[in-house]
Every structure is written in C-alpha cells, then in structure tokens.
Copies of this chain bind each other. A is one copy, B any other.
Amino acid sequence: MKFKPLHDRVLIEVLNSSEKTAGGIIIPDTAQEKPQEGKVIAVGGGAKTEDGKLIPMDVKVGDKVLFGKWSGTEIKIDSKEYSIMKESDIMGISGK
C-alpha cells in the first residue's frame, strides 16, 4: 500500500480483539475514552518546527500502539480498517 501520511501523522491498522498483544490489555466498558490497539503501517516525515525543520517520529512501522477510539480518522482499504492520526494522539507502544 502506498499511502504516505503528511507531517506528524501515522497510518494505523486497527487490530481486532483476536489479534491483540500477548500482554492482554483489556479496555473496561466504563472507560471514558476507550483506547484501541493497532499496528503502525506508515509514518509521516515528522512535525515541522517554527523554522521549518523536521522533528523525527518516535513510532516505527510495525509497532503495536494504543490510541484513543475517537482520535483519528477511519478509512477502509481492501476491507481492512485503518485510522490516520497524529503521533501525539498515540498513548504508547504496547508491543512489536
């Protein structure tokens, strides 16, 4: 797939429950903002500083990450679910 996120955006494939990390993260139904797990498919070149320099990204293609359900924009490619969001919307790396 050839989608190239702009700036500090990340393309994430949303993982179904059956694909979740071995660590066994469970999202309680009572959580205010439900986090989701996903796999990083593509990353942008990085945010730009005031002077136009690039700040390198911290997540890499292949990382499993936690992100808020309402953070990104959902798209479907070949019947798989993806989400495009800014790196700052990613809470952390839950596996590789």
A interface residues (Cβ-Cβ under 8 A, vs B)? 1-7, 9, 11, 23-28, 30-33, 35, 42, 44-45, 48-53, 55-56, 58-59, 66, 68, 70, 73-79, 81, 84, 87-88, 90-95
Identical chains bound together, number:
7
CB distance from A71 to the nearest CB of B (A): 10
Check B6–A23 contact: CB distance below 8 A: no
| 13 CB < 8 A contacts A-B | A3-B25, A3-B93, A6-B92, A24-B78, A25-B75, A26-B75, A26-B76, A28-B76, A35-B73, A35-B84, A44-B92, A49-B50, A52-B56
Quick one: which of B11, B51, B78, B81 contacts A92, CB cutoff 8 A? Answer: B11
Quick one: which of B26, B42, B53, B59 contacts A52, CB cutoff 8 A? Answer: B53
Quick one: which of B51, B79, B88, B94 contacts A7, CB cutoff 8 A? Answer: B88
